[in-house]
Chain A
């Protein structure tokens, strides 16, 4: 059951920003994550500010320099079906398409997807764990088959967003506004690792709204993709996922950005995979090396060592697929 809160649905961004200065106001994009958190008592709020009536936050359009602007409240369905995204920013369409279920994609927004709360079952359940202000991470010695193999520190979640690794790989930048200022935050610096603060997911302040995402023009030779593996073929988060954004020069990978989902508390940049493939043709040996690089240094927990083989297999498969 939901707590009692007031619900505001302003028609302009300015009004929304003004309404957010109340200390525990929460932003509502599509609400698919927010409402679940409120119902499960992950946190509470007295004021919900909906972005759904604000025209300036919507839409997907090309920018003058060949890039793309995605409004914060563009839905995952819109993104998955957008021809320019599928064509030039493939990883993002791939990612949007595999989120949750059709209903949730119709309702869920891209900004909400980036800012969603963790899916750790202790965090969502009736456990006062460290991230919720308690003392203890229950996952560490508990049921951690879905938890992280990289970057765990006091808290061992995996970041749940499918679009974040794809956006990060393609160099997307969030435009962020508050009542007093506007700033840019690259998606690959949006999320906060637990080593910095285990109780915070993004660098955004509570009164800051993501207004849009800006993608740079794709360089010549760019190919990108995203794939996730899940234990159920729909309506399920990633056990493991990989976003690739590789710039090819003929057969040779000139530059690479590789981000993993299901691996770490934040979208996990795998510089090891990038190093293993940059300057190389994607032959069998390079792919094998990249696959092992993907899990080099991983620190599996008691119940998730299977993710090592999974990431190796996934990365190898996706490199083969993108090589064509």
Chain B
């Protein structure tokens, strides 16, 4: 099969029209690339920013959702009589309520479930909901609903899910789709050619997104017009889904979400809670707010599935890879999540012979959703540790082994060239900044405290692209509004967008206001996911600013009586090249004054044909392991990232540090624990589910951007970063721990328990 630079799934490629003003690369930048605090930092920090969770409307009711406590059950009866009589209760909704039989969870062009499906396939499935005057009354009321369940046999282990006789979660068995195969060359011949072969089985645990703001929405009807405030990564996606579910024209559905408190992929999918809020609001003719309690976010809003990955790599004595065989399995949960991980082993290194297979199965647990580079940090955990094993067997420095296998072209299909790809620079410059050579030359520690360094590389496969439409309005006083549909999910979207306008038009940052993430008032953008907001939307922002500039030049040329191509635009003024005495401030342009504003529209142009865009990275870390207690300290981390042009160095660094923190979670602390006896999650809270704290991440962390604009890709030359930032982290820690201890621990997270168990096994062997 072939892959392409994807920014859409299925159907014809989306597009936006071309731009009127040509947009060549910036010769040099002054604002773009600098360190700028977020333009909304004060609002965020002071608490004046209104997140969906803060929205409070006159007459608003509060909703609560009753969820199935069992891993697998059938709802036989729901008795809401008592709940309906409770004080403050305005509406109760169940599967039996007219209009509530909305199809949910797409499969094969149809749907496999409904909003309140009586067949509850995991703990946390929606059974009923209530709207009441206060949040407490709503919770009291859902507790008063009597549900009769028939408990069904369950399976929460992905291997057991495929065993004969396993409970069927859907008709047709527990395999989700056909296993996905990526294959090229001749794997047997590749291994025959190999002089050294390593094999291993690696496992990661299930990670939960756990964004700071829980999932939730506020819904309000105004006649047949619906307004929804939603904590989402993409307002237009929610609009589309709600319009379909409620059979409304999209124009009647307004979704608003300019501030939102994180998603990491879990808020790409429209929530059942959103639709439930709209139904309750319609039943009561009052606005309804539903925000999920933290426990429900853990069980019912997605996860990064646990994976088991078997890998075999063959290489020649000089380190040239000859073959990779890879098999991964994981659970998509009770619905149709994807647990595939095969992309990274297929593409990261130059290797002619490859066979990678991904198997995804159903279990009676929450559906997997994309989580920050879906599948890739898991694959890196396997691939990059196996590469270190291979390096050890070859007697090569792990850095050197990777440098010998940098892919020249995309390792799939016809072998497309990369628009730009600086994996070598990430490795070499990163190693230099980290002091890799000195660190690996250091003799091993003798006592119970053992230090070790590790590195891992990564690549990301979604590039972004059309459609995106952005509008820039320049006012007669020289200030500007920027209007774009994209969500700022915490990455600093508004800030880099304003920086591009400031760069292009010379408007000071403080005089640029950004309107975004509102389907009624801002322009179409795709969801903020896949690390594609910068590469999809930044060229459209640039094009919109260029369009304004183009128009201003036209007006000024007429006013000054010079040809347009004689004018130079700088610092909000236009000056004739041939006669510098002919000059005009933008605010002196008569046409601008008469019109009040000049409106520029920018579109994202298509990606180039015949090439592939892939951000790459390498991360390095040093750890210290206490062999007595299994305690692991991350001493330092460095991320070297090729994500094309750096737009805002401050938020670029922050993305990298945040990605590392999340990767440390995957590698060291985080793990969903399901009770084997009941299939229920025992650590569905922020205390027992261990997200790393400031004391768990590296005390000393650094970011090294390989700041090379990718002009073959798009006009700003910027590629994605958010997901690459977390891809190699856990694997780098795994490699550092293996170097420190002389024993490889193949299962993540590296808790004291796993470290001590591995050391005990090591002692036994010795």
Contacts and interface: CB of A to CB of B under 8 A. Distances in A.
A141 B629 CA distance: 25
Contacts of A122: 675, 682
Given A141-B677, A313-B629, A317-B629, A232 B756 contact: no
A142 B683 CA distance: 13
A125 interface: yes
A124 B687 CA distance: 11
A143 B156 CA distance: 14
A126 B680 contact: yes
Interface stretch (A20-28, A83-91, A167-175, A234-242): A234-242
B517 to A, nearest CB: 30
B208 to A, nearest CB: 15
Contacts of B682: 121-122, 125, 142-143
B687 A235 contact: yes
A232 B677 contact: no
A310 interface: yes
Contacts of A236: 690
A231 interface: yes
Contact of A233 (B678, B695, B759): B695
A1 interface: yes
Nearest to A36: B687
Interface in A304-318: 304-306, 309-310, 312-314, 316-317
Nearest to A2: B136
Contacts of B757: 305-306
Nearest to A232: B690
Contacts of B695: 232-234
Nearest to A315: B628
Contact of B752 (A1, A125, A143, A239): A239
Interface in A127-181: 127, 138, 141-143, 145
B69 A229 contact: no
Interface string A87-125: 000000000000001000000000000000000011011
* Size class of the B contact interface (CB-based, 8 Å): 35 or more
Nearest to B692: A232
Contact of A142 (B626, B628, B677, B690): B677
A235 B759 CA distance: 26
Nearest to B749: A231
A306 B693 contact: no
A121 B139 contact: no
Contacts of A233: 633, 693, 695-696
B753 interface: yes
Interface in A276-324: 304-306, 309-310, 312-314, 316-317
B745 to A, nearest CB: 12
A125 B687 contact: no
A229 B675 contact: no
Interface in B727-766: 751-753, 756-757, 759-760
Dominant SS among interface residues on chain A: loop
Contacts of A127: 675, 678, 680
A232 B683 CA distance: 15
B506 to A, nearest CB: 46
Contacts of B677: 138, 141-142
The SS class assigned to the B binding surface is loop
A229 B690 contact: no
A1 B135 contact: yes
B676 interface: yes
How many residues of A sit at the interface, in one of the four size bands? 20 to 34
Interface in B651-706: 669, 673, 675-678, 680, 682-685, 687-688, 690, 692-696
Interface in A181-234: 229, 231-234
Given A1-B139, A121-B682, A231 B690 contact: yes
A126 B687 CA distance: 16
**Residue of B627, B629, B759 contacting most chain A CB atoms (<10 Å):** B629
A232 B630 contact: no
B146 interface: no
Contacts of A231: 669, 690, 751-753
A138 B752 CA distance: 23
B400 to A, nearest CB: 34
B631 interface: yes
B697 to A, nearest CB: 10
B107 interface: no
Contacts of B759: 309
Interface in A234-282: 234-236, 239-240
A312 to B, nearest CB: 8
Interface string B200-222: 00000000000000000000000
A121 B688 contact: yes
A143 B633 CA distance: 26
Interface in A1-22: 1-2
A126 B69 contact: yes
Contacts of B752: 229, 231, 239, 306, 310
Contacts of A1: 135-136, 139-140
A240 to B, nearest CB: 8
Given A142-B675, A229-B752, A121 B669 contact: no
Contacts of B753: 145, 231, 239, 304, 306
B631 to A, nearest CB: 6
Contact of A125 (B139, B626, B627, B684): B684
Contacts of B69: 126
B225 interface: no
B448 interface: yes
A310 B69 CA distance: 35
Contacts of B627: 313
B86 to A, nearest CB: 13
A317 B628 contact: yes
A142 to B, nearest CB: 5
A312 B759 CA distance: 13
Interface string B512-534: 00000000000000000000000
B676 A143 contact: yes
A143 B628 contact: no
Contacts of A145: 753
Contacts of B629: 229, 240, 310, 313-314, 317
Contact of A121 (B631, B633, B678, B683): B683
B638 to A, nearest CB: 21
A1 B692 CA distance: 26
B320 to A, nearest CB: 41
B429 to A, nearest CB: 31
Given A1-B135, A229-B630, A234-B693, A309 B756 contact: yes
A127 B676 CA distance: 13
Contact of A138 (B135, B675, B696): B675
Nearest to A304: B753
A310 B756 contact: yes
B763 to A, nearest CB: 9
Contacts of B687: 235
A317 B692 contact: no
A231 to B, nearest CB: 5
Contacts of A229: 629-631, 752
A313 B690 contact: no
A127 B682 CA distance: 9
Contacts of A306: 630, 752-753, 756-757, 760
10 contacts: A126-B69, A143-B675, A232-B692, A233-B695, A235-B693, A306-B757, A313-B626, A313-B629, A313-B630, A313-B756
Interface of B: 69, 135-136, 139-140, 448, 626-631, 633, 669, 673, 675-678, 680, 682-685, 687-688, 690, 692-696, 751-753, 756-757, 759-760
3 closest cross-chain pairs (CB), A and B? A313-B628, A233-B695, A121-B682
Interface of A: 1-2, 101, 121-122, 124-127, 138, 141-143, 145, 229, 231-236, 239-240, 304-306, 309-310, 312-314, 316-317
Given A234-B693, A313-B756, A316-B628, 11 more contacts: A1-B135, A2-B136, A101-B693, A121-B673, A122-B675, A142-B676, A229-B630, A231-B669, A232-B669, A232-B690, A314-B629
